[in-house]
Amino acid sequence: MFEKSTWIRLPRNVVVGHGVLDQTGEAISELHLSGAPLVVTSPTPREVAGERVKAELGSLGETPEMVVVEQASFDEIERVIDVARDLEPGYLVGVGGGKAIDIAKMAAADRNLGFISVPTAASHDGIVSGRGSVPDGGTRHSVAADPPLAVVADTEVLAEAPWRLTTAGCADIISNYTAVRDWKLANRLQNAQYSEYAGALSQMTAEMLVENADSLKRGLEESAWVVVKALVSSGVAMSIADSSRPASGAEHLFSHQLDRLAPGDALHGHQVGVGSVLTAYLQDGERGDWRNVRDALATIGAPTTADELGIDDETVLEALTTAHEIRDRYTILGDGINQDAAHEAATVTGVL
Ligand SMILES: NC(=O)C1=CN([C@@H]2O[C@H](COP(=O)(O)OP(=O)(O)OC[C@H]3O[C@@H](n4cnc5c(N)ncnc54)[C@H](OP(=O)(O)O)[C@@H]3O)[C@@H](O)[C@H]2O)C=CC1
Ligand SMILES: O=C(CO)COP(=O)(O)O
Ligand SMILES: [Zn+2]
């Protein structure tokens, strides 16, 4: 359907490379922001990069402040909003994994301030997106926010992060296959708005990553480069769509439900990867391409089973049978699948 107007919000500066943390000040000074920065980080990223970024930002002439968050929750977002209200910073800088970046992004949107994204792990595709994803009791909101004005992704830092964080990022990208199929399904059955460009970009990003899967190796900085570029591309697809739809279908609903049922047991990207194997089976049947999804995950060393996620069988089945309840987003799960169907999908695919 023809729309009267479309707004696509994208970052202005995306700086990726070895040692680019030292260019954070330069990337920001080009944006003509005023006021002091507030760095939002979490414990490990603070040690890995947060203090360094804070020192670098000091070179811009205003004294930076820092707030450390512990978990992805609306309470933590409120706390950062309160700190920002008190300190009146000029802009927010999120330094960390998906948790710190989402919280900084959403707090900046609330305070109507600019936001800069400094990922310390190539673990998720929210690095560039204009969405925040935070659990709220029994549901999970995908909240509209502004995308970062600039992204500074230092491949030296990303390559030194534990390899499992990078394989989580790969799995978050591989899940785009099933997300795009669910999006097309919702378009056909529910008239959900679909963007050909965003869908094609998201799918192509997953294909390129899978084609390069053999060359992704632990400790290789080039691998961190390949993965972070794919994460940027996937985030741009979400910005074009103004929705997380290009990168989030039933496999994400499954993962969000696991976050509720087994909080902290596995990484977001690893959960959506296993969810993608199950979703591919549900979308396309036994002879479909769920094996390709599983093999792509296995090649990069991401989990493909409940055991590898460290989550018990009952929890996996409960997450699969209740995932459709987590938000109003039409997927292959429809109004829900029953216990027998969930068991069949999980055993045929070897997830259980
Ligand atoms: N907005 C969007 O579009 C998207 C949002 N997301 C969201 O992102 C989150 C998942 O992101 P993820 O990064 O997996 O989660 P976290 O931010 O929780 O990071 C995972 C773990 O990695 C640690 N860590 C981060 N960087 C380093 C490093 N360089 N070295 C060692 N450890 C490190 C963190 O430490 P610590 O515990 O100290 O923080 C944490 O323990 C979820 O909340 C998900 O919903 C995911 C995709 C898209
Ligand atoms: O994780 C995401 C894309 O990879 C987005 O998740 P949401 O759909 O919860 O915003
Ligand atoms: Zn995701």
24 and 123 in a single domain? The answer is yes
Task: Note whether 77 and 186 are same-domain residues.
Answer: no
Please, which residues have CB within 8 angstroms of residue 330's CB and are 6 or more apart in sequence?
Answer: 182, 185, 186, 189, 190, 192
**Are both 266 and 279 inside the same structural domain?**
yes
* Residue-wise pLDDT tens digits, 285-338: 998 899 999 999 999 999 999 999 999 999 999 999 999 999 999 999 999 999
Clarify whether residues 296 and 192 are in a common domain: yes
Nearest atom, ligand 1, residue 44 CA = 38
Is 294's C-beta closer than 6 angstroms to any atom of ligand 2? Answer: no
Q: Give residue 305 CA to ligand 2 midpoint distance, Å.
A: 21
* 250 assigned to some structural domain: yes
Domain shared by 77 and 203, yes or no: no
**pLDDT tens across 202-231, in order?**
999 999 999 999 899 998 999 999 999 999
Final residue before a domain boundary, out of 160, 183, 208: 160
- Residue 240 counted as domain residue: yes
Q: Which domain holds residue 75?
A: 13-160
Residue length, the chain? 352
pTM > 0.95: yes or no:
yes
Task: State pLDDT tens for residues 52-102.
Answer: 999 999 999 999 999 999 999 999 999 999 999 999 999 999 999 999 999
Task: Classify residue 6: in a domain, yes or no.
Answer: no
The count of structural domains within the chain is: 2
- What 22-29 contacts at long range (C-beta under 8 Å, 24+ apart), as own/partner pairs, is 22/56, 23/152, 24/53, 24/56, 24/57, 24/93, 24/116, 24/118, 24/152, 25/56, 25/57, 25/59, 25/60, 27/116, 27/150, 27/152, 28/57, 28/60, 28/91, 28/116, 28/150, 29/60
ipTM for the assembly: 0.98
Q: List the one residue out of 118, 122, 123, 140 whose CA is nearest residue 131.
A: 140
Q: Which whole number is the average pLDDT over 222-243?
A: 96
Question: Is the Cβ–Cβ distance between 346 and 337 less than 8 Å?
Answer: no
Instruction: Kindly tell me if the per-residue pLDDT of 344 is higher than 80.
Output: yes
Cβ(72) – ligand 2 distance below 6 Å: no
Where among 160, 186, 204 does a domain terminate?
Answer: 160
118 beta partners: 95
